[in-house]
Structure 1
């Protein structure tokens, strides 16, 4: 097995992209090399790749954070632009849906992309999202590679343990290439 290279300025972007690095490692690299360390993992990855290939530091995209205070929420209230999950929103949905309410990622995305609709429509969407989740595999966003890997590991190996899944993940992320589960990763747990 090849050793994953340390994240340094000696890497080129292609090599860097072919290995898995934690967000903490990416942020540390940025700070050590004078790059902005803000943003999500994908944004930081792009910034580092550009820097490794060109030596240029791409500016951070400014996001305006001027948000209006949310007033009283009713079912007829319109979902505000730039929706942010707050305690006020959580209290509203718990009152309407029940104490089992949570903000699953799919529902958060729905709320953020459906400003202008009513909270009554949001409640309907919540129940629809729960039904869809029961029917099949949910989509995990690209930046959550670990979660996707662990889910796929257990789907392919129902009798295995979390310890074995984590051992396979550690083995996989040290290899160049993609970080999706493959049966060949089980070589990491032959001794467990």
Structure 2
């Protein structure tokens, strides 16, 4: 009986299937090669065999989103597909960024849109998102009309209070039409 070969890109699928590999080994191989790690051991094995035969990545068959369990996160770990904010992720980022870390909306979107990048890149992106936010460069999604209104109010009215901004917002949202800030809304505080 021959010795079990190392699981790497040079292995052919028949030889691969002839030997037993721990799920952890299969998942590590997948992560190293950008192959989805969702599903059970059989699904992962089929994806690896397909990759070894064709060099192509077979997408995950499951339609449901499922959190992928990762044992350890390091700066070099790749961001997994279908990223889900978890306590393990929060702990990692707090350790590397500080206790003030939080999963803000922009950062969550970045994580979900950057599968395969490293957590080190995620840390850099987090700081950039904070910097952009300070400079007012972040885009507020359409559904957050209040936040957009308040930001635009302060951009046009240096020195005004949040209380005044809220009064103008309450006035504006009672009017027919859009809910974007306009200078004429200041009538609410005059």
Structure 1 residues 114, 72: CA separation in 2 closer, same or farther (over 3 Å shift)?
same
Structure-2 residue corresponding to 1:151 = 151
CA deviation string 1:19-55 (max 9, x = no partner): xxxxxxxxxxxxxxxxxxxxxxxxxxxxxxxxxxxxx
Structure 1 residues 120, 151: CA separation in 2 closer, same or farther (over 3 Å shift)?
same
Deviation of 1:103 after TM superposition, in Å, equals 2.1
Structure 2: where are the runs of 5+ without partners?
1-62
Q: Distance in 2 between matches of 1:74 and 1:178?
A: 46
Q: Distance in 2 between matches of 1:135 and 1:174?
A: 30
Cα pair 2:68 2:83 within 8 Å, conserved: no
Which has more radius of gyration?
A: 2
Structure-2 residue corresponding to 1:119 = 119
Q: Distance in 1 between matches of 2:125 and 2:93?
A: 12
Counterpart check, 1:64 vs 2:60: no
Deviation of 1:129 after TM superposition, in Å, equals 2.5
Q: Distance in 2 between matches of 1:135 and 1:75?
A: 27
Structure-1 residue corresponding to 2:174 = 174
Structure 1 residues 135, 119: CA separation in 2 closer, same or farther (over 3 Å shift)?
same
- Number of residue pairs aligned between Structure 1 and Structure 2: 128
Cα pair 2:154 2:160 within 8 Å, conserved: yes
Deviation of 1:163 after TM superposition, in Å, equals 1.9
Structure 1 residues 164, 131: CA separation in 2 closer, same or farther (over 3 Å shift)?
closer
Structure 1: where are the runs of 5+ without partners?
1-62
Structure-1 residue corresponding to 2:92 = 92
Q: Distance in 1 between matches of 2:70 and 2:126?
A: 20
CA deviation string 1:71-122 (max 9, x = no partner): 2211122211111212111110111122232223222111010011111221
Structure 1 residues 126, 180: CA separation in 2 closer, same or farther (over 3 Å shift)?
same
* TM-score normalised by structure 2 residue count: 0.61
